[in-house]
Structure 1
Amino acid sequence: MVPSEFSSPAPVDRWSDPLDFEAVRHARVLPLDVVQAKGNGHAGTAVSLTPALYVLFQEYLRHDPAQPDWAGRDRFVLSAGHTSLSLYLQHYLSGYGLELDDLKKARALGSLTPGHPEWGHTPGVETTTGPLGQGVGNAVGLAMAARRTHALLQPDTDPEEGLFRYRTWCVAGDGCLSEGVSQEASSLAGTLGLDGLILIWDDNRISIEGDTAIAFTEDVAGRYRSYGWEVVEIDDAEDPAAIRAGYDAALAVTGRPVFVRLRTRIGHPMPTVGGTAGAHSGAPGEAEVAATKVALGLDPEQHFVMPQDALDHARRVRERGARAREQWQEQYDAWRAADREHALLHDLMRERDVTPQARELLAALRATPQAKATRVASGAVLNEIAPELPWLWGGSADLAETNNVAIAGVRSFTPTEYDGDEWPGGPDGTLVHFGIREHAMGAILNGIALSGYSHPFGATFFVFSDYMRPSVRLAALMGLPVTYVWTHDSVAVGEDGPTHQPVEHLWAHRAIPGLDVVRPADWVETVDAWTRALTSDRPTALVLSRQGVPVVGDAVPADQGARRGAYVLADTDGTADAIIIATGSEVGLAMQAREALAAEGLAVRVVSAPCLEWFEEQDLAYRESVLPRSITARVSVEAGTATGWYRYVGTNGEIVSVEEFGASGAGDLVLAERGITLDAVVGAVHRTLATVREDPKEETAR
């Protein structure tokens, strides 16, 4: 179907009630009024999606606008976040608290209607979207969480009757489905047979550069069939009967996710700009807006109009939502009374806290350290606490055993019909097999965290964290409790060579606001890092070694060690001549350098700094006690680039770092080849001391 053949807007008799017709035709020109008045924004998709979304929010979506966070609601994800007006329109019509003035303020600083939907900012927004395809991954994560939460809390109840088996609806555009992250996530969803997940594709065949045929020509519906999805076709997004038939068909599907191909004409019924790239963004022009209103039978001289009776009618959806919530609440209360054991588990999952039993296990692990790789220490933590914390679940991008997240004795999160011997499991499984899909894993983890019942973790090699960086950034932007287990943390990876040896990654991730990057030195610091990460309300990246490391922090009390970000690991009797600051596997090297320098009569303090973000949260007095301004002879040691260490060593300091890519060879030899050696650290201390003696008044940047 080509744009010129697209049907006209449905006449009044095609709608269930004349007031639905009035609400839709007035609503769909509001985005045009908004964008024309502001001179910028995205109106076209919001105009053409209005009928389909109105039917969804009014008749199919289980939601209560008066209680946007109601646990029993369906989830709606707008993956095509640039068309945020599509969502704000439905929230306005449904009575979420947005009014016409909020629509007029779209994209304005401080408004409730920012340019892309933001979780935690606008009531009813389930996730922050905008980077295309991310919402698809979030939706997959939300659907996975719904399946697992039901399996844990109501294992003997039919999923269709479960209190926690919400449906996840997601709207994506051509851009979302072009991005690789959506393809990765959709492939996994098909493998898992994620019923309850409905992805609506706004098939308008237009992107910013014009007709998508210039770059996007595959059989998208066929691709989704190959993933294992059921495909439903809605050929006319203007026909409410066709829309309902498509939604009904989607709801009838069991055992697999549903892909709904919704054929639209972007900006329809805009007469000139509609169906072209010009409808995607920017002001369409007063003449085009007026002509569109005429096509809809509206007064072209009126702007920002919504008849009160039509708005009141649309907001009756709140009555439907209230009834659904009240019925759910009655069932929920009865369930709590009848099943105290699972009700207690429910409360623990909502809190996502560390239980007293888990704290005891963590304390016991900390008290019995081993000289092992920090990835091994991390694995020991997961093996101990996972059975105690059912809300802690996740997996790896096909590296579970190497990343040490393969927890002994737990079930895998697999389709019910999966019967493999190696990874037995089911919908209640703890270990997720993401496949080689780092980017989808990151987006899915965000969706799982947004479900409200989980603290997810995801693992891969640190060098491949680049593949998931956009999802990590969004986790930090939203402040989600996600833990990343990134192992093989430096050129010490060894024989796999520079393609697998992270160099710039530590500072690249430290540059993300709201992400805590933790590179523990030993077993003790790893346990401490996990302990803090489990109670964090923002994402934590655990950057862990492949090679074994000595135990260095066993004499430091838990409340004075890694959880403070940086701390004095080894001190002097009097004032130190110099300070060595180190992270991860280089802390042991710093301790060796301290001993060598002591033999020369020099007093050196060693500071272990596993997490600079946590250190910067400490008060000034504590930070001064660890890194006194009076001691300007400082050396940092880390097997990565020097990028941000100047803040901590100052103008007199020296940085022992890796400033080029790695090499293929044994890990210890590659470290030496790239300058991470005892001699390098000792030499750096001598040079910084010489600088201080030449310029004793020079102070550090801190």
Structure 2
Amino acid sequence: MSNKRVKIDVESKAIDTVRVLAADIVQKSMSGHPGAPMGCAPMAHVLFTKFMNFSPSNPDWLGRDRFVLSNGHACALQYIMLHLCGYGVTMDDLKSFRQLDSLTPGHPENFVTPGVEVSTGPLGQGISNAVGMAIAERHLAATFNKPDFQVVDNYTYVICGDGCLQEGVSSEACSLGGHLGLGRLIVLYDDNSITIDGDTAISFTEDVVKRFEAYGWHTQVVADGTNTAAIMEAVENAKQETGRPSIIKTKTIIGHGSKKQGLETTHGAPLGADDVAHVKTTFGFDPSESFVVPEEVSKFYAGLQEESAKKEKEYDVLFAAYESKYPDLAKELKRRMSGELPEGWKDKLPKFVPEDKAQGTRKYSHMVINALTDTIPELMGGSADLTGSNNTDFKSGVFQKDAYEGRQMRFGVREHGMSSVMNGMFAYGGMRPFGATFLNFITYAWGGVRLSALSKFGVVYVMTHDSIGLGEDGPTHQPVEVMELLRSTPNMMAFRPADGNEVTGSYMCAMEAGSTPSVLALSRQNCRHLKGTSAELVAKGAYNLCEHGPGGAPDVILAATGSEVQICVDVAKALAASGTQARVVSMPCWELFEHQDEAYQLQVFPAGSPVMSVEAGGIQGWERWAHAPFGMTRFGASAPFKPLYEKFGYTVENLTKQATKVAEFYKVKGGAQSLVQRVDLNLAGYHNGH
């Protein structure tokens, strides 16, 4: 028998090993998705063994190709490939699939499993992340490569399924990817014609190839997903197409080898012991054994690991020569990939004094963005077609397919795609992306925003038009519940700055939070610069801004965010005129305040002094800090912001009355005793705008 034939037999056995292990993994855990891994095994084998550069011993190697399993429910496939290729995923880890604290969770998580680039599971996110990765690769290549040194030179490979292409986010991102001509992005579409509900004929009959042609993608079809030679040829063709991203529609059979192959019953449940035995018999495995990797397959992948180590060493030699010839560029690339910010990046950030012109905090944000992009070259981003409203333009070229060195992104009207693409840009490394829209429409982007927090990606969301104060566009555009959503999300910082200094401080905190996304909620209406605000104190989350009155402990504390802080300053002065001691606390970021020690929290909100919160948004969550929350419990209305604030009670006159009631109520009650023992004061009829 020829060596070529032996090799073919070994590779066929390797593919069948993946199928059998997938059946075993899901059967043991009694949970998971065996069908897609069994159908996709040839595609994964071809990518990992014929095309991808990677380093199991150094998963973050700069020269690696990126792999994204967009249909994350098929993660048994990825875990098996990581195990076979020598990453830190052991056979015991495979046996612990979907179990507590294992390296093999129910969907891929980038911060759990070595070799997983992004967290996938919500369908459409992974392929959208991959567009962001391809953007990052093109930008860094344009910035750092030289004709004689291609130090940024990788592909982003994706396996995705029908569900990913049905989710709207993938349409947004892939449309952008086609426009940008991202030739280093190659997608293998697992066309198995099955979703949970059954055959895709019941709901998904579009011509996907024509759709992607319309996006500007290079398209191919592989009629038989078991034909590894055809898959290899298609990927080779895709690599030759340098000016367009590529999608390869590959016809597979879900649950290949199962008695139930081709049926939805193989999608999201164990096959059952009898069927698992059938699968093993079909592929020449002993049905009495489980979790077996044949010796010849292990040797085959051991050789692959040696080849991978050789490629990494070759790259290291290339980079050393690059570093010798272009030391400054090499140093800068290393810095960016390490996540460290450049020295002195804060030095040019704007500072403000009360005499400066009052503007919307979105305009102060514009000043800060321009200062930051001057000093942090990895900061790259833009707006979802609202550049003039979000004030996110800065002094850099626009990133386009003929100008990949540009840093100004034009995301188009694609909020969800924008958030998911930014996650991919951050995941690639060396990038700090930001994206902008109206605060209300962060809910359009929410699938990606939530994954920013879950994945520990320090992306920045610049969200303007932050309250009912945006005015005439009305309640469809006015966010009243969005800050509640942001504040309730783990590992997320939501900033609502009161003036220019607090905007600067919010960006300082956001940039320093490399593993936490930040949302900056910025006003359309003018906010004057207030005496006592501090960029540095934003890092405390809340601080004592001012105090007015005859002296002594505060009779009432007004806690506010954003544009309402300036109103509360005027309210405190009005209260002082009637003999009430009033403190104003600016609270730009709840999450940062929650991380302060109790001593500092009680310094800001001392026991015995009642707190009334004031925010032109929802009141949920304020009970943590305030005895009496004043806010919105209904949607807004369409009108200029001043009539709106009058209608809903955000006036000095009304808020002075409400604060007086709070102070008098707690005098009768004997004072507010602590941060946690609080009594709500019913202010219904005022925050409802009646």
Q: Same fold (TM over 0.5)?
A: yes
- Report the CA distance between 1:13 and its aligned residue: 7.8
Choose the corresponding residue for 2:575, options 593, 597, 601.
597
Measured against aligned partners, the alpha-carbon deviations of 1:577-600 in whole angstroms (never above 9, x if no partner) come to: 110000000000100100100100
1:471 corresponds in structure 2 to: 448
Q: Report whether the alignment pairs 1:197 with 2:191.
A: no
Q: How does 1:477-488 map to 2 (within 5 A)?
A: 477-488=454-465
In 2, the alpha carbon distance for the partners of 1:352 and 1:296 equals 46
How has the CA–CA distance of structure 1 residues 307 and 353 changed in structure 2, closer, same or farther, with 3 Å as cutoff?
closer
Find the counterpart in structure 1 of residue 398 from structure 2: 412
Moved more, 450-459 or 529-538: 529-538
Match for residue 123 of structure 2? 132
Matches within 5 A, 1:33-72: 33-72=24-63
Pair 356,246 (structure 1): closer, same or farther in 2 beyond 3 Å: closer
Shift of 1:193: 0.3
Is 2:204 aligned against 1:211?
no
1:508–1:364 distance in 2 versus 1, CA, 3 Å: closer
Amino acid at match of 1:530: Y
SS at match of 1:93: helix
**Which of 645, 650, 673 lines up with 1:699 in the alignment?**
673
Please, which moves more after superposition, 358-367 or 590-599? 358-367
Can you list the C-alpha shifts for 1:252-281, whole angstroms capped at 9, x where unaligned? 11111001111100011213x110100101
**Root-mean-square deviation over aligned CA pairs:** 1.7
Contact kept in structure 1, 2:361 and 2:499, CA below 8 Å? yes
Aligned residue identity for 1:570:
C
CA distance in 1, matches of 2:340, 2:100: 35
Q: 1:522 to 1:556 in 2, by over 3 A?
A: closer
Alpha-carbon distance in structure 1 between the residues aligned to 2:261 and 2:654: 66
One-letter identity of the residue aligned with 2:245: P
Q: CA deviation at 1:442?
A: 0.2
Establish whether residue 103 from structure 1 lines up as the match of residue 90 from structure 2.
no
Structure 2 Cα separation of the partners of residues 697 and 523 of structure 1: 35
Taking structure 1 as the reference length, what is the TM-score of the superposition?
A: 0.93
Instruction: Tell me the residue number matched to 2:81.
Output: 90
Aligned to 1:678: 652
Q: Which secondary structure state, in structure 2, belongs to the residue aligned with residue 259 of structure 1? A: strand
Q: What does residue 332 of structure 1 align with?
A: 319
Separation of aligned partners in 2, 1:39 and 1:356: 52
Deviation by residue 1:44-77 (Cα, 9 ceiling, x = unmatched)? 1111111221121111111111211101100001
| Match of residue 504, structure 1, among 439, 457, 481 | 481
Q: Is the 8 A contact 1:369 1:523 kept in 2?
A: no
- Aligned in 2, Cα 1:367/1:641: closer, same or farther, shift over 3 Å? closer
Q: Which residue of 2 aligns with 1:581?
A: 559
Shift of 1:99: 2.1
2:688 corresponds in structure 1 to: none
Give, in whole Å, the separation in 1 of the partners of 2:643 and 2:354: 32
Question: Are the equivalent residues in 2 in contact too, given 1:80–1:171 (CA < 8 A)?
Answer: yes
Whichever residue aligns with residue 197 of structure 2, its letter is E
Tell me, yes or no, if the aligned pair for 2:359 and 2:527 is still in contact at 8 Å.
yes
TM-score normalised by the chain length of structure 2: 0.95
1:253 paired with 2:227, answer no
1:186 partner SS: helix
Residues 1:534 and 1:242: Cα distance change in structure 2 (over 3 Å): same
Q: Which amino acid aligns with 2:147?
A: T
Query: After the TM superposition, which of the residue ranges 675-684 and 585-594 deviates more from structure 2?
Result: 675-684
The change in CA–CA distance for 1:493 and 1:15 in structure 2 (over 3 A counts) is farther
Instruction: Determine whether 1:349 maps to 2:349.
Output: no
Aligned identity (percent) is: 38
Q: Residue 605 of structure 2 contacts residue 675 of structure 2 at CA under 8 Å; is this kept in 1?
A: no
CA gap of 1:395–1:363, structure 2 versus 1, over 3 A, is closer
Relative to 1, partners in 2 of residues 1:680 and 1:353: Cα closer, same or farther, differing over 3 Å?
farther
Q: Residue 604 of structure 2 is aligned with which of 626, 650, 662? A: 626
CA positional deviation for 1:327: 0.7
CA contact (8 A) 1:365 1:381 kept: no
Specify the alignment match of 2:687 in structure 1. none
The 3-state SS of whatever aligns with 2:463 is strand
Matches of 1:324 and 1:368 in 2, distance apart?
Answer: 61
Partner Cα distance (2:261, 2:430) in 1: 43
Q: Report the AA paired with residue 561 of structure 2.
A: T
> Cα distance, 1:362 vs. partner?
1.0
Listed as ranges, the gaps of 5+ residues in structure 1 are 1-11, 417-425
Work out whether 1:220 is the aligned partner of 2:208: yes
When residues 527 and 198 of structure 1 are mapped into structure 2, their CA distance, relative to the original with a 3 A threshold, is: same
User: What residue number does 2:502 align with?
Assistant: 525
Query: Matched residues in 1 for 2:331 and 2:195: separation?
Result: 49
Q: Kindly report which structure 2 residues correspond to 1:524-543, keeping only aligned pairs within 5 A, or say none.
A: 524-537=501-514, 538-543=516-521
1:362 and 2:360 matched: no
The residue that corresponds to 2:546 in the other structure is 570
In structure 2, the residue matched to 1:454 is 431
Q: 2:630 matched to which residue of 1? A: 656
- The structure 1 residue matched to 2:663, chosen from 689, 694, 697, is 689
Give 1:549's aligned residue. Answer: 527
Q: Is the 8 A contact 1:237 1:262 kept in 2?
A: yes
Secondary structure of the structure 1 residue equivalent to 2:568: helix
Indicate conservation of the 8 Å contact 1:15/1:240, yes or no.
no
Does the 8 A contact of 1:656 with 1:676 survive in 2?
no
**SS class of match (1:639):** strand
> Quick one: distance in 2 between partners of 1:620 and 1:698?
16
Change (3 A) 1:60 1:153: same
Deviation at 1:157, TM superposition (A): 2.7
687-696 vs 536-545, greater mean Cα deviation: 687-696
Using the alignment, how far apart are the partners of 2:261 and 2:4 within structure 1?
A: 24
- Residue aligned with 1:268, SS: coil
1:701 CA drift (Å):
4.1
8 Å Cα contact 2:354/2:530 also seen in 1: no
**Aligned counterparts of 2:157 and 2:352: Cα–Cα separation in 1:** 43
Question: Quick one: structure 1 residues 204 and 369, their matched pair in 2 at CA, closer, same or farther if it must change by over 3 Å?
Answer: farther
Q: Is the 8 A contact 1:353 1:535 kept in 2?
A: no
Q: How does 1:229-268 map to 2 (within 5 A)?
A: 229-268=217-256
**Across the two proteins, how many residue pairs are aligned to each other?**
671
